[in-house]
Amino acid sequence: MNFPAGLLRNNSAVSSLRRRGISIRHVVFAFALCISLLTIYFNYLPHTGYSFSTDVIYYSQETPGVWAERSVQVRNAFLHAYHGYERFAFPRDELCPVSNGSIDNFNGWAVTAVDSLDTMLIMGLDQEYKRAMSAVHNTNFSLPTNTHVPFFETVIRYLGGLLSAYALSKDDILRTRADELGTILSPAFNTSSGFPTFSVNTIRGTHDGPKIGGLAEIASYQMEYAYLGKITGKKEHVDRATTATRNFYNAKLRDHGGMYPMHWNLSSGQSKDARLSVGAASDSAHEYTLKQYLMTARKDKANLEMYLRFTSHVFNNLMFISPNRHLLYVTDSNLYMSGNRPSHNFEHLSCFFPGLLALGAHTLPLNNLEEVGLNFTELADDLLPKHKMGYEELASFNLADLHLWAAEGLAQTCYLTYADQPTGLGPDVVTMLSGGVRPEIPWMDAMQDWKASGSKGPPPGVGDKRPWVGDVTNRNAREREMAFAMRDYHIRSAVYQLRPETVESLYILYRVTGDVKWRHRGWAIFQAIEREAKTPSGYANVGKVHSSDPEQLDSMPSFFLAETLKYLYLLFREDDIVPLDQWVFNTEAHPLPVFEWTQEEKEAYGVP
């Protein structure tokens, strides 16, 4: 390295070093050595002690009036969306909010109206409710002979909507309609296993669809049919619900740690593949283990066991900490001969999972399962030895804390995928950075390490973190890659589909912890929806959420009114109008009441 001679000659510090026999070469060498050692330390040496950065963020305690006013703003958003739907789309299924057109994508039975009934009752929108009820009075739940009704979507949106509105209003027409619909869909269950098929022809009374069923689609009807059986007194509805529980409980899941895989053979009732996920095509099947248990007054131990096995498997195998920001995330995997292969995709759909964990931590005696006749580590008795070991590691923690920490860390990452974008809206799927010199870390490894080093500070992935501030405008490709590397993920699908999962979890976490930060995060999301998604007639899906040039797409899914706005409204309401120990939300956010089977029902239906 050549330094200008004059520069060195006049520098007294340099002269003094020279007098001591230290030349500029020595200094440069020492400097280079330091840099190399630091590089090796941070990038190549296996770390036994992780250091997880967190920020201290102060969230203001607004006065109750502020939150009440925000809940009114959400109610106004609902009115804006529903009035646009009424004006341009009713009685068709959904509004196209950019073109002011309409679409029949769910049987043409006015899905937005039926899906919205209980939101209207909860928000006290009597006029809209009365008008929407005309859809309930007039629909005859049939289609032209050559068309098929999709079982899963019809159950969660229509049947769930009718049942919840019945539970809230006790209006008999809703029960009658729900019974008709549940019966009309019943040919779906004519399989050897009793698991439902993809669709039903409501005129011919036949079913259709592949012989292999998607997990979410074959499982997410148990709550609806169990409650339908309760309010109609019909054994056949209850039997349909309990068949799914029995099938899953008896399935061979030893290799999968007791977690349900993504595809199932509808004849044998056994799983067909080894893909494990809490995201697309799987999500609500896992959700219904805990919820079915809670809705039936905590008597259905089989579902509780399956909930504990599935969450344990996820903790031990599917949760990771990202390399730089230490974001906690949940992903999916495929089991190969060589072991688990996580994809490191993190889906918006998976963001219901933190809410479910928080609900479980709130309602279950996780540290005293003997109370409900269970022994945690014995739950792994039939599983492979490596799973058994995983249970012992989990049991070395306070299980209730562990579940709530997982909920908080995951919900924060869900929220950050919104806050990191210039639009403030979350992409549908991101892929977390994994591999390379700073690979992702399995969450439970990090937790063990944190415990071993004295449990100082918040657990890995749990402490508060700030949004990413990287700016990639006018950057070349290499600079952008570097910026994304610091953010810890690439965006795989940049659309915000007005989905509810993140605000659902924020709402449950707020109700469970009382921590106002969950409300502030929900408020930031609601403001982004108002800013980016609102159109003159409703709200639109938003594309390119990661850019400063987002685009509104011509779709307003019914779940935006049934779920997203309902959860935001409940998040800001001061009073807890749907207490979590008295109501259980189906996967489309339709609250169903907790109920107990009478002794006669238990005997007649064979339910616990």
Question: Given the rule CB under 6 A, which residues bind ligand DMJ?
Answer: 156, 283-284, 349, 499-500, 559, 563, 587-588
Alpha carbons 321 and 54: distance in angstroms, whole number:
13
Residue 357 CA to residue 328 CA, distance in Å, equals 14
Residue 342 CA, distance from chain mean position: 18
Least Cβ distance, residue 349 to ligand DMJ (angstroms) = 6
By C-beta, is 399 or 565 nearer to ligand DMJ? 565
Q: Which helix (H) or strand (E) holds 487?
A: helix 477-487
Q: How many CB atoms lie within 10 A of CB 321?
A: 24
Tokens read off for 275: 């893909």
Q: In this complex, which beta carbon is closest to ligand DMJ, that of residue 77 or of residue 447?
A: 77
As measured in angstroms, the least distance from the Cβ of 560 to ligand DMJ is: 9
8-state DSSP, 264: E
Task: Please identify, using beta-carbon distances, which residue of 291 and 325 lies nearer to ligand DMJ.
Answer: 291
Q: How far is the CB of 221 from ligand DMJ (least distance, A)?
A: 12
Q: Are 232 and 159 in contact (CB under 8 A)?
A: no
Q: Angle at Cα 101 formed by Cα 95 and Cα 107, nearest 5°? A: 55
d(CA 120, CA 127): 9
The smaller minimum CB distance to ligand DMJ, of residues 52 and 225, is found at 225
Instruction: For the CB of residue 559, give the shortest distance to ligand DMJ in the complex, in Å.
Output: 4
Minimum CB separation of residue 400 from ligand DMJ in Å reads 26
If the CB atoms of residues 296 and 564 are measured against ligand DMJ, the closer one turns out to be: 564
Closer to ligand DMJ by Cβ: residue 81 or 369: 81
Give the residue among 183, 163, 181 at the shortest CA–CA distance from 121: 163
Q: How far is the CB of 251 from ligand DMJ (least distance, A)?
A: 21
Rg (CA), the chain: 27
Residue indicated by tokens 């941070």? 42
Least distance from C-beta 498 to ligand DMJ, angstroms?
8
* The two structure tokens encoding residue 209: 């669809």
334 phi, psi to nearest 5 deg: -125, 130
Residue among 149 and 383 whose Cβ is closer to ligand DMJ: 149
383 closest CA partner among 259, 550, 493, 275:
259
**Helix extents (H) in 349-398:** 353-363, 385-395
Q: What is the C-alpha separation between 165 and 119, in angstroms, rounded?
A: 9
Q: Confirm if 197 and 266 have CB atoms less than 8 A apart.
A: yes
Closest approach, Cβ 497 to ligand DMJ, in A, equals 7
Q: 206-208 and 199-201 as β-strands: parallel, antiparallel, unpaired?
A: antiparallel
- Which amino acid does the sequence have at 183? T
Output 559 or 597, the one with its CB closest to ligand DMJ: 559
Q: 160 or 342: whose CB is closer to ligand DMJ?
A: 160
**Residue whose tokens read 């061979």:** 252
Residue number, 288 or 443, with CB nearest to ligand DMJ: 288
Rounded to a whole number of angstroms, the minimum distance from the CB of residue 500 to ligand DMJ is: 6
Shortest reach from residue 499's CB to ligand DMJ, in Å: 4
